[in-house]
Amino acid sequence: MITPQTIINMIEHWLSTPVNGYFGQGYGADIKSMLLQELSSAKADELLVKLRRDIPLLNQLGDNDLSIQTSAVGYDALQVFLMVGNMPIFIGEAIDTTMNQDFYDTRAQ
């Protein structure tokens, strides 16, 4: 019987496995690469598409049941979560590059 905890365990295994971590298989997640780039809905969608492709069981979940959400930490960082229903799975932290403030180049002439 597949329980919610079984699904969480599958996803946590996928998140901890590097892409191509199994010989001849594309299975796995490149989370570090995603977190080092500017976060966007396109990157989140790409991650979810790969997750659904690698774990076909998740295709039965709707878009509202499987999503990526962020939570602000301080003024310059975001915590990124993979939401399965209302259960969050912590993915990592990313720097918020979309802050609305002025930046000055002190080397400008």
Work out whether strand 87-95 and strand 66-73 pair parallel, antiparallel, or are unpaired: unpaired
User: In this predicted model, what pLDDT tens digit does every residue of 27-38 receive, in sequence order?
Assistant: 988 887 777 777
Domain spans, the chain: 4-95
For residues 77 and 95, the answer to whether their CB atoms sit within 8 Å is yes
pLDDT digits (tens, 9 = 90+) for 50-77: 999 999 999 998 888 999 888 888 777 7
**Coil/strand/helix, residue 67:** strand
Edge-to-edge strands of the sheet including 66-73?
Answer: 66-73, 77-84, 87-95
For the question of whether the overall pTM of this predicted structure is more than 0.85, the answer is no
